[in-house]
Amino acid sequence: MSFLLFFISMLADKLNMTPEEAERWIVNLIRNARLDAKIDSKLGHVVMGNNAVSPYQQVIEKTKSLSFRSQMLAMNIEKKLNQNSRSEAPNWATQDSGFY
């Protein structure tokens, strides 16, 4: 496993941010991307681990997510169709019988 070390102040300069803004940005990035990283606020640097996920594992994870989302979409469509069919008036109620 290899590590990447960079300084928050250097990143803040490159991004035209204050060091505090850059640190918040990095924290959000680490959380949202689920990165293996640690921030040392006292020393002002970030250490990132390089846990390379194999392309095969990435495909498996994306496929699981896509499958779940497809199932949810199908269930929601089916539920919507069932609601629409129940709310429609029966065919006999909409016909004009000619009697008044």
Per-residue pLDDT of the chain (100 residues; tens, 9 = 90+): 566 667 888 888 888 989 889 889 888 888 888 778 888 888 888 888 776 677 888 889 889 999 999 999 999 999 999 988 877 655 665 566 666 5
Please classify residue 20 by burial: count the beta carbons closer than 10 Å to its beta carbon, then call 0-12 exposed, 13-18 middle and 19+ buried.
Answer: exposed
- Helices within the chain (DSSP H only): 8-15, 19-33, 55-87, 91-94
Name the pTM for this structure: 0.45
23 C-beta neighbours (distance < 10 Å), count: 19
**By three-state DSSP, how is residue 94 classified?**
helix
User: Distance between CA atoms of 88 and 86, rounded to whole angstroms?
Assistant: 6
